[in-house]
Chains A and B, each alone.
Chain A
Amino acid sequence: MMNLKIILRNPMSVKIQNFLHSPILLLGLLLTIISISYYPNIENPKTTNYSYINAFSYSYKFVVDENLDEKKIRRKDKKWIKDHFTLVENQYEYYPGRDQKLQNKVDKLFNKKYINRLNVNFHLLGTDSQGRDLLSLLLVATRNNLLLAFMTVILSICFGTTLGILTGYFLNRDEPLYFRSIQKFIITITNGISDTPMLAWAFLIWLSQQILFESTAEIRTIYMFILMAITYYSSILSKGIRNHLYELNKREFLSSAEMLGVNKFVIIYRHIIKSNLKNRLFSLSIMIITQAIFLEITLSFKPIGIGFTNTLTYGTLINSLLANSYSMNMIIPALFSLLLCNYLTYFSSKINK
């Protein structure tokens, strides 16, 4: 039944599916998000209205002409406008939201039609409590999270692949005798690390850092991810690679290549990494990216509070939702991060299949 379904499937839909599951699309998407986030207006979103603005809305300002004296406004109000509005290019301007009392007064003037309201910027996803464009914040947060996750992945691939190939192939032989002992020792250590809950490792690293060197929360968090990559994630990766290599060993082509006199490093590069491990490594890397994003959210989560505090990340954006939960806007970063992680997990499972 399944085979029949595959045969009858429209070739165009198969092409579309293949495109959707191609690593190039994923990498392209992630790199596009990172490069867009460096655009100056996005990196430093201007604060105009100092309050929440809903999605698909404009930020606005109140304006009145410079020649106030010619207008039919009460003298008291004229004086108030001159005191509280800023004179910019022949008109008095006021951006709302900074002070509730002032805002009430401005609203009264607006209702009396003494002053006008002008739209300033369009905000697709609205703004945060400080009036910063949420889409820009989200892009910058995505970039920071992805860069942190890429760093974690690169380090864990370097250490994890080395350990995995060492234990799964290089030391996985009976001669010389001490190879088995070294292999057992490394496996015991990596299994021990990967069996410990991730949060326990994170807490231990955090505690050691607190005591060993004084620095800001941001630097400590980056170091924590570096150490997590070297210890925890590389252990998980090495375990996955080792098990994969045990399966490859059963097919005996590695020993045949050795018998033919091929150099071991050539075998490692050509027969193991290039032809067999590429997809596995890719799917494991995506899994680590997802885990690193979730770990960042967990550690920066306010009740836990051992992650970033000032850097824009998903964790800090979600914390601002917890701090000011009267607007629906701040649920957007949470939903976006979950969607991204879901997509990555789905992608990883597709590659695994």
Chain B
Amino acid sequence: MNSFKKFIFNVFLGSLMIGIIFRIIIWLILIKFSNEGIHYPWSSTTAEIFNRLLFFESTSIFNHYISFLTVTLKITLISWLLCLTIAAILSVLSYNYLSLKKIINIIISLTNIHIFGGFLIIYFIHVKNDMPIPQSSFLAIILVIFCNGTLKTLVDKFTSLLNSIFNQQYVHFAKSQGISKWISASRQIKFDLFETAIEFLPFFLINSIIAELAFDGVKGLGSEMLNTFKATADQGYDRLDVIFLMIFSFVFISRFASFLYDEFKNNIKKSNVS
């Protein structure tokens, strides 16, 4: 299967299929609500009921949805980039200075405390000092970077990458010729770091969603997902289109990231062979 076909079938249609499964389940739930007495504008005839499953109610939902998507993507991408930068710096430091390695290891092992662990610490500090908890995307980004445990995994991966790259024959040869090992291995380091970075993008998306759940004020896809499901369950609101779009975008983003990862890997393999 070529890349385009793979993108269409695995990424786009695959994500669409999962979105549609969610849509059908929510649609069935709404029909049950309708039978129990909640009136929807589309629930009078069978044709309208099926129309509701197949079509969007109004296009204005997209504007609403895009603002939430932007917030989530902003948190995901910023935290991803910052976490990669910090991980790269820490791994270079722990590779170059053995005395720093243990300190860095201790510091990064503290980051494995889950988003809610981080949130509780923030909550506790603020409540102890009688201050309201700030509802900002900045704190959500901080939590995603320092509390989800990915920083530790990334530092470990980057350090082992550096170890394996610098132990290769061509680097030793370049070193013997007076060329710095960083210069000789820079191309491979760049490729390998990028490959690892793409692999971890879906984790950041999921953690951004969890971080949004903790902060009411950060209106992203995560908080909206919770509100939507709660509104459907408690008041029987019709949020079919929002749920479909959210699930589709979640799956699409994570599948697109793994598609990019596979493509990147394949391209490197091809270039190595040629």
CB neighbours (8 Å) of B100 from chain A are none
Q: Give the residues from 109 to 152 in chain B that come closer than 8 angstroms, CB to CB, to chain A.
A: 109, 112-114, 116-117, 120, 123-124, 127-128, 149
Contact B124 A203 (CB under 8 A): no
* Min CB–CB distance A251 → chain B (angstroms): 21
Contact A197 B209 (CB under 8 A): yes
Q: A331-B120, A341-B114 are in contact. Are A192 and B14 (CB under 8 A)?
A: yes
Contact B120 A200 (CB under 8 A): no
Contact B116 A297 (CB under 8 A): yes
CB neighbours (8 Å) of A331 from chain B are 120, 124
Q: A195-B18, A211-B233 are in contact. Are A304 and B226 (CB under 8 A)?
A: yes
Please tell me which stretch of B87-95, B192-200, B249-257 contacts chain A, meaning at least 4 of its Cβ atoms lie within 8 angstroms of it. B249-257
Contact A197 B120 (CB under 8 A): no
Closest partner residue, chain A, to B255 (CB atom): A195
* Min CB–CB distance A248 → chain B (angstroms): 21
- Pick from B114, B123, B247: contact of A200, CB below 8 A: B247
Q: A331-B124, A341-B114 are in contact. Are A203 and B226 (CB under 8 A)?
A: yes
Q: A206-B229, A211-B32, A303-B216 are in contact. Are A192 and B18 (CB under 8 A)?
A: yes
Contact B209 A210 (CB under 8 A): no
**In the complex, what distance in Å separates the CA atom of A285 from the CA atom of B149?**
19
**In the complex, what distance in Å separates the CA atom of A192 from the CA atom of B14?**
7
Sorting the interface of chain A by its residue count into under 10, 10 to 19, 20 to 34 or 35 or more gives 20 to 34
CB neighbours (8 Å) of A188 from chain B are 14
* Min CB–CB distance A35 → chain B (angstroms): 27
Q: Is the interface of B mostly helix, strand, loop or mixed?
A: helix
Contact B117 A338 (CB under 8 A): yes
Q: Does residue B7 face the partner (Cβ distance < 8 Å to A)?
A: no
Contact B112 A342 (CB under 8 A): yes
Give the A-B pair count, Cβ closer than 8 A: 94
* Min CB–CB distance A10 → chain B (angstroms): 18
* Min CB–CB distance B114 → chain A (angstroms): 6
**In the complex, what distance in Å separates the CA atom of A342 from the CA atom of B233?**
34
Please tell me which stretch of B21-29, B47-55, B261-269 contacts chain A, meaning at least 4 of its Cβ atoms lie within 8 angstroms of it. B21-29
**In the complex, what distance in Å separates the CA atom of A192 from the CA atom of B112?**
28
* Min CB–CB distance A203 → chain B (angstroms): 4
Contact A197 B18 (CB under 8 A): no
Contact A203 B225 (CB under 8 A): yes
Contact B213 A199 (CB under 8 A): yes
Contact B120 A195 (CB under 8 A): no
Contact B213 A298 (CB under 8 A): yes
CB neighbours (8 Å) of A67 from chain B are none
- Mark each residue of chain A from 322 to 335: 1 if its CB lies under 8 Å from any CB of chain B, else 0: 10011000010010
Q: Does residue A301 face the partner (Cβ distance < 8 Å to B)?
A: yes
Can you list 18 A-B pairs with a CB-CB distance of less than 8 A? A196-B247, A196-B251, A197-B206, A197-B209, A197-B250, A199-B209, A203-B226, A204-B22, A207-B229, A211-B32, A297-B114, A298-B210, A301-B213, A303-B214, A325-B128, A334-B120, A342-B109, A342-B112
Interface residues of A (CB under 8 A from B): 188, 191-192, 195-200, 203-204, 206-208, 210-211, 294, 297-298, 301, 303-304, 318, 321-322, 325-326, 331, 334, 338, 341-342, 345
* 5 more CB-based (< 8 A) A-B contacts, given A197-B209, A304-B213, A338-B114: A196-B250, A196-B251, A199-B213, A334-B120, A345-B149
